[in-house]
């Protein structure tokens, strides 16, 4: 799964990389967690639009938004048939922006956090889906999203059994194109990302606590047993 990630690049870099005209107000986010509002890019058919979505997809038919905490990720292999995701896969696709994500590897009785980057730390896009859910109490629409996952590549297999679907820039337009409504035309994009374009290292234990939101969460791992 993908349960934590980061987006710390300046707005000017994101505008250049993802070819969007306007961004919401941004601050560096070192420890993005479930239910946080995450920066995404979608298409209206003519241009790319940057927008914030609540992380944890809330299906339109849901009675309570709490269901979103169980829908942080969607397995790409089954998204086309799952009631919670199949309509969104056809017509509500987006890219979740990041410049690192975190995963935990169990070593004995210890789970060690790892920071994973793409293309030397350059911002990248994870394939996602979105929904608009109307709050029955307030009548307001809440926009939420999920991140698609796939089988791990050899680098990630050493850390965890799943990884996010990372989209190569050459495929961004195809993924976002709202005219493509046949999921079968997109399944090749769900292949594990090239491991030679990724790097992973142990990082600070502090990332495990969502209250820690500063750059210290990306610091080095300290083995307390040997310190």
For the stretch 178-220, pLDDT in tens is 999 999 999 999 999 999 999 999 999 999 999 999 999 999 9
DSSP SS3 for 21 = coil
- For residues 97 and 138, the model is more confident at 97
Residue 36 has pLDDT above 70, yes or no: yes
**105: nearest Cα among 141, 152, 70:** 152
Alpha-carbon distance of 170 to 146, in angstroms, equals 22
Does residue 2 have an active-site annotation?
yes
18-30: pLDDT as tens digits: 999 989 889 999 9
- Residue 207 contacts residue 4 (beta carbons within 8 Å): yes
Token pair of 12 as six digits: 């000017």
Distance CA 40, CA 84 (A): 20
Is 117 in the active site? Answer: no
Is residue 225 over pLDDT 60?
no
Confidence class of residue 93 from pLDDT cuts 50, 70 and 90? very high
Of the candidates 40, 103, 117, 131, the residue annotated as catalytic is 103
What dotted CATH number matches 4-218?
3.90.1680.10
Query: Quick one: how many helices (H) and strands (E) in the chain?
Result: 4, 13
Query: In this predicted model, what pLDDT tens digit does every residue of 59-75 receive, in sequence order?
Result: 999 988 999 999 999 99
Question: In the predicted model, what is the mean pLDDT of the chain?
Answer: 94
Q: Which residue has the higher pLDDT, 209 or 45?
A: 209
Residues 198, 120: Cα–Cα separation, whole Å: 7
Q: How confident is the model at residue 227 (pLDDT cuts 50, 70, 90)?
A: very low
pTM value surpassing 0.85? yes
């Amino acid at each position: 799964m993908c349960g934590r990630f980061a987006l710390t690049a300046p707005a000017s870099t994101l505008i250049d990389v993802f070819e969007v005209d306007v961004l919401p107000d941004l601050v560096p986010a070192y420890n993005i967690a479930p239910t946080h509002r995450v920066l995404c890019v979608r298409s209206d058919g003519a241009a790319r639009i940057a927008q914030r979505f609540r992380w944890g997809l809330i299906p339109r038919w849901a009675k309570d938004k709490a269901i979103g905490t169980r829908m942080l990720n969607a397995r790409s292999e089954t998204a086309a048939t799952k009631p919670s995701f199949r309509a969104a896969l056809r017509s509500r696709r987006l890219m979740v922006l990041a410049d690192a994500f975190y995963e935990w590897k169990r070593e004995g009785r210890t789970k060690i956090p790892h920071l994973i980057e793409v293309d030397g730390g350059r911002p990248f896009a994870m394939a996602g889906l979105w929904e608009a859910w109307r709050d029955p109490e307030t009548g307001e629409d809440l926009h939420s999203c999920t991140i698609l996952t796939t089988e791990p590549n050899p680098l990630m297999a050493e850390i965890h059994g799943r990884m996010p679907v990372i989209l190569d820039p050459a495929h961004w337009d195809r993924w976002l194109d709202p005219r493509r409504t046949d999921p079968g035309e997109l399944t090749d994009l769900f292949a594990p990302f090239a491991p030679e374009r990724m790097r992973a290292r142990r990082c600070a234990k502090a990332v495990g606590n969502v209250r820690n939101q500063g750059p210290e969460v990306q610091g080095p791992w300290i083995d307390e047993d040997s310190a």
